[in-house]
Amino acid sequence: MVAVAAVVAILVIAALRQNPDEQQAVPLVSVPAPQATSAECADLIAQLPDKLGDHTRAPLADPAPAGAAAWRAEGQGEPIVLRCGVERPTEFIVGAPVQVVDDVQWFRVGEAGVDDAGAEQARSTWYAVDRGVYVALTLPQGTGPTPIQLLSTVIAESLPAKPVSPAPVR
């Protein structure tokens, strides 16, 4: 009986020492982002909100790439990831469709599985293409419009609009 009580006490102490509200660090792989350390990206990162709807800003695992931020829902699922200063997406060519959200022009690139029914880890990446630096926003499936709307407002306030500059048709 004493052994059972000791085991229960140890489990209770271990559970109390863990902070369930603490976000796990989000590991991000490095991608080409030649302008990630620019003043524009530093300004944008400084203006990013702590909350994007149901998602809360999460720390990045070391080594964290410059110009990046992430948010996670309470369930610790797939994160929302913003990367500033990335290269122009290769798919962004003359005639490519863009969508305007709160004065920011976005170009969408779907990732593997995004159109597959039942693909739980499907994502899409949206690029703000009308600023002095390209900003990529990767959203897990089912995120809804709130993150892109909130970030469009921050981007519009932080980065001046520039003419869209797609690559020529290949």
pLDDT band of 4, cuts 50, 70, 90? very low
**pLDDT, position 12:** 31
Contact 32, 67 (CB under 8 A): no
What is the reported pLDDT for 32? Answer: 97
pLDDT per residue as tens digits for the range 104-157? 999 999 754 445 544 445 889 999 999 999 999 999 998 999 999 999 999 999
pLDDT at 110 (0 to 100): 78
Please determine, for residue 63, whether its predicted confidence score (pLDDT) is greater than 50: yes
Look over the chain and give the mean of its residue pLDDT values, rounded to a whole number. 85
> What residue ranges do the domains of the chain occupy?
23-158
Instruction: Work out the pLDDT band at 2, boundaries 50, 70, 90.
Output: very low
Task: Look at residues 91, 120, 121 and name the one whose alpha carbon lies nearest to residue 108.
Answer: 91
Query: Can you name the residues that pair with 104 across neighbouring β-strands?
Result: 101
| Whole-structure pTM value | 0.82
102: left (phi over 0), alpha (psi -120 to 50) or beta: left
CATH of domain 23-158: 3.40.1000
Distance from C-alpha of 8 to C-alpha of 14, rounded to nearest angstrom: 10
Amino acid found at 158: S
Is a pLDDT exceeding 80 seen at residue 75? no
Give 77's pLDDT tier (boundaries 50, 70, 90): confident
Are the CB atoms for 114 and 90 separated by under 8 Å?
no
